[in-house]
Structure 1
Amino acid sequence: MDARASHQEAPPAPPAPGTALVDTSRNDRVGEFRGVAGARWSLRPIGGGIEWEADPQHVRPALPMEQIRARTARANARSRGEVL
């Protein structure tokens, strides 16, 4: 038996839908938790957009400032006509 296999961390419990999270494997991209997709979590950009899947081990709760920054970036892109 491999000693490393017995020390692996269990995946964290999924948060409530809509919880703001940061995907550290994607340059600290902020998204809302949408659900579980197999061993991965589905996240969607705050304010809408295309969902992506993240490894739960690379996800953490978003700080209030990160949430504000993500919402502001989305509002600015919308005002420029880049997104609906």
Structure 2
Amino acid sequence: MPTKNGASDEQEPPHVPTPAPGTLMVDLSEDRVGEFRGEWCGKWSLRPVGGGVEWTVDPQDVRPAEPIERLRAELACANRRSRGELL
């Protein structure tokens, strides 16, 4: 509902700065870590660490990965590569 000055009581989602390509982010909606690839039509594109199919997510549904989350994602990628699952 608008107030006297015409402002709305609705809160806009906080602006999330666009990360640099390659930054590891956590998709909170799917609880998975992905590498930031870019922005398109207000959505962010993430890709699994080490490659794979990209997915899109709303910027307010992601946060930067903590050091332990980055380590786990990179270790999982190295393990898949050692088993011959990734080239």
Normalised-by-shorter TM-score class? 0.7 to 0.9
* Bigger proportion of residues as helix: 1
Quote the offset at 1:10 in angstroms: 4.4
CA distance in 1, matches of 2:25, 2:51: 14
**Structure 2 match to 1:18:** 22
CA distance in 2, matches of 1:67, 1:10: 24
**Structure 2 match to 1:43:** 46
| DSSP-derived class of the 1:77 partner | helix
Q: Pick from 12, 15, 22 the counterpart of residue 8 of structure 1.
A: 12
Task: Spell out structure 1 runs of 4+ moving beyond 6 A.
Answer: none
Q: Which has the greater radius of gyration?
A: 2
State the TM-score, normalizing by the size of structure 1.
0.83
Quote the offset at 1:82 in angstroms: 2.0
Aligned length, in residue pairs:
82
| C-alpha RMSD of matched pairs (Å) | 1.7
State the TM-score, normalizing by the size of structure 2.
0.81
Percent identity reads: 57
Gaps of at least 5 residues in structure 2 are 3-7
